[in-house]
Amino acid sequence: MAGSRATETSEERDIRLEENRLRMAESRAAETSQQRDSRLEEQQGRTAELRVIETHGQRSTRLEENGLRMPELRANEASERRSSRLDEQQQRAAASRAAETPRQRNTRLEDNRLRMAETGDAETSYQHGSRLEEQRQRTAATRAAESREQRDNRLQNERVQRQNSRQASKRAYGWRRSDTIPFTITENTQRL
């Protein structure tokens, strides 16, 4: 297998990858919800095992290869397939988050934070740019697909978050009148 892969042309490689993708799509379309959950759990278990036994050098190599391969795969996929992939990812994430307990949610957020910190330390400037570009594309695709009501709700939530952030900053830096003028004139006179 490795020998044939090494000698195949770019066109043959593209055909092989496309056939693999079609077979995978057919298999995924036919599986039940239980089979899908089982498959994802097995994948996560296998990935976790591989990550545990890999050395620091192997991990750096893997992150580097992923960073180089991901933009190429994204550039080659059709717009329709990309929209379908993003939609499937969002549906999986929403279903998973709806079923998780508060403790699982806190664990997931902490894992995400640690993973982002590790990736940020290991990624090259090219990978960093690619990751930001992919995030922008995902956001643009999500915004393009949302309804007017969803858009109004999102904008309202963003306004509330900005307002809460400003208020928190003012409290943190003591910009409230009660913080900047702690005593009345009468109180100051009595203290003197």
pTM for the structure as a whole: 0.26
Query: 124-165 pLDDT, tens per residue?
Result: 677 777 778 888 888 888 888 888 888 888 888 888 888 888
Please name the residue that has the structure tokens 């969803």. Answer: 150
Kindly state whether residues 184 and 159 are assigned to the same domain.
yes
Q: Is the pLDDT of residue 174 over 70?
A: no
Kindly state whether residues 90 and 141 are assigned to the same domain.
yes
Kindly state whether residues 137 and 92 are assigned to the same domain.
yes
In a domain, 39, yes or no: no
Quote the pLDDT of residue 2.
Answer: 54
Q: Which residues of 100-125 are buried (b: 16+ CB within 10 A; e: fewer)?
A: eeeeeeeeeeeeeeeeeeeeeeebee
In a domain, 9, yes or no: no
Better-scored residue on pLDDT, 68 or 23 = 23
Our CA angle for 106, 83, 144, nearest 5°, is: 85
In a domain, 31, yes or no: no
Tell me which H or E stretch contains 147. none
- For residue 127, the one-letter residue type is Q
Distance CA 129, CA 132 (A): 5
Query: 26-49 pLDDT, tens per residue?
Result: 777 777 877 888 888 878 777 777
